[in-house]
Structure 1
Amino acid sequence: MAQLMSTLGFWNSTAARHTPVEDVQGIITGSLVAALGLYMLASAGLLTGSTAGVAFLLHYAFGINFGLAFFLLNLPFFYLSLKRLGLAFTLKTFIAIGLTALLSDLQTRFFTIAGMQPAWGALTGGLLLGYGLLALYRHRASLGGVGILGIWMQERFGIRAGLVQLVIDMGVLAVAFFVTTPQTVLYSVLGAVVLNLFVAINHRSDRYIAL
C-alpha cells in the first residue's frame, strides 16, 4: 500500500524526484492553464511571444488555425531539446505542446468569453500562461520554442529562463506592428512582461531542484 501511495505521488519519499503520476498531473494541469491563458489573450485580441506569438500572427493575418500553427512551429525546436536537454524532456515537451494545442481548439466548445478589456486580458492571460509554464518547467517540460532555449541557457549559463524569453518575445511583438494596431501591440507587450517576469521570479534552479 505504501509503495502504491508513493507511486501515485501522495507519499513521495524522494523529494528531489517526481513520480510518473506527478509528472502526468503536472503536464496536464500546466497545459490546461496555459491554454486558458492563451484564450484570455485571444479573447482580448492580443498576442504573446515565442512560437505562440508567431502562431497568433499567422492566425490574425491569414486565418490559419492557431492550434495547428502552434504545434507545427515548435517541431524544429525538438532537435535542440533532444540534443541538449535529453529524451525525457523532449517527450514531455512534445506531449505538453500537443495537449496545449488541442485544448486551445477544444475549450471554446465548453465556454466562450463574450468580451475582454485588453489590459485585463493582458494581465490575466499573462499570469495564467506564466502559471502553466511554471508547472511544466517544474516537471522538466516546456511549451517548446523559446522555452526550450530558455531552459537550456538557464541550466548552461545561469541566465534566468524568463529573461531570455522576454528578450526574444519583444522581438516577436515588434514584428506585430506590421500586422495589427500599435495599441494591440502595447497591450501584448504588457502581457509578455507579466508572463516573463512571473517566470523569472518564480523559476529558479536554486529554489526548486526536483526532477
Structure 2
Amino acid sequence: MKTRLGDWNATATHHTPAEDAQGIFTGTVLAAVGVSILAHLGFLTGSTAGLALIIAYALDWNVGPVFFLLNLPFYLLAVLRLGWAFTIKTFIGVGLLSLLTWLQPRLFQFGEIEPLTGAIVAGLMIGFGLLAMFRHRSSLGGAGILALYLQDRFGWRAGLTQLVIDLLVLALAFTVVSPRAVFYSIVGAVVLNLFLAINHRNDRYVAR
C-alpha cells in the first residue's frame, strides 16, 4: 500500500502498521520512564527532552507539554527530508511521550534512587526507547530527527551525532541545576548515546 503518506507495505524490509504501533508504543513507554527517573532525581538529558526539562525546572512547569511544543519546529525538517510516514509516526510518538510524562505522577511514584544508578538506568531506558522508535522509522523529535537525517544522508552515526548535541544542551544545565546534577546528567547522556551508536546501524538493521 503506497500512498502519498509513504510506503506502508509489509515486506522483508518494511514493518506493518500494527508492528509500527507496538514499536512506537513500547519505545515511548520506555523513554517516558527514563525521563521520569531523571525528573525525579533533578537530572537532565539532551535534545529537546533536555531543553524541556531545563524550562520545566526554571519555570516550574510540567515537562510533558513543554516537550511537545519544543518539537513542533522540527516537523518541517521531517516532512521535507524524511517523508510523511516518518513525520506522522514521530508526531504520534512525541504526543504519547508528552502525555505519559504528564500523567506519570498520577500513575506511579518513585522512591529513593541512588544517583549514579538512576542516571545509568534512565540513559539505558531512553536509549532502548529511541532504538525501538528508530527501527520503526520514527523518532522522539528534536535532535532525533536531525540525527536520523544525517545518518541517512552522510552515514554519520545517529548516536554520536546526538551525543554532541546533547552535550551542548547539557552545557545549559548549569543555569538551573547544580554541577553535581550536571555530572550525573552527562553520565546518563553518554550511556544513552553510546548505546545508540553501538546498536543502531543501517548495515545491521534494514527494516523500516
Q: Is the 8 A contact 1:41 1:122 kept in 2?
A: yes
- Aligned: 1:156 with 2:153: yes
Q: Is the 8 A contact 1:43 1:115 kept in 2?
A: no
1:13-28 aligned within 5 A: 14-28=11-25
Partner residue of 1:113?
110
1:100 corresponds to which of 75, 97, 101:
97
Partner residue of 1:55?
52
Identify if the C-alpha distance between structure 1 residues 180 and 13 changes in structure 2 by more than 3 Å, giving closer, same or farther: closer
How many residues were matched structurally? 200
Partner residue of 1:205?
202
For residues 108-157 of structure 1, the C-alpha deviation after alignment (integer angstroms, 9 at most, x for no partner) is: 22210022221111100000000000000000000000000000000000
Partner residue of 2:193?
196
Give the partner amino acid of 1:144. G
Partner residue of 1:145?
142
Unaligned runs of 5+ in 2: 1-8
Identity %: 59
For residues 169-195 of structure 1, the C-alpha deviation after alignment (integer angstroms, 9 at most, x for no partner) is: 000101111211101001000000000
Partner residue of 2:6?
none
Give the partner amino acid of 1:185. V
TM-score, normalised relative to structure 2: 0.94
1:178 corresponds to which of 172, 175, 179:
175
Give the partner amino acid of 1:77. F
For residues 150-170 of structure 1, the C-alpha deviation after alignment (integer angstroms, 9 at most, x for no partner) is: 000000000000100000100
Give the partner amino acid of 2:109. T
Runs (4+) of structure 1 moved beyond 2 Å?
Answer: 12-15
Distance of 1:14 and 1:77 partners within structure 2: 29
Q: Is the 8 A contact 1:46 1:118 kept in 2?
A: no
How much is the aligned-residue C-alpha RMSD, in angstroms? 1.2
Unaligned runs of 5+ in 1: 1-11
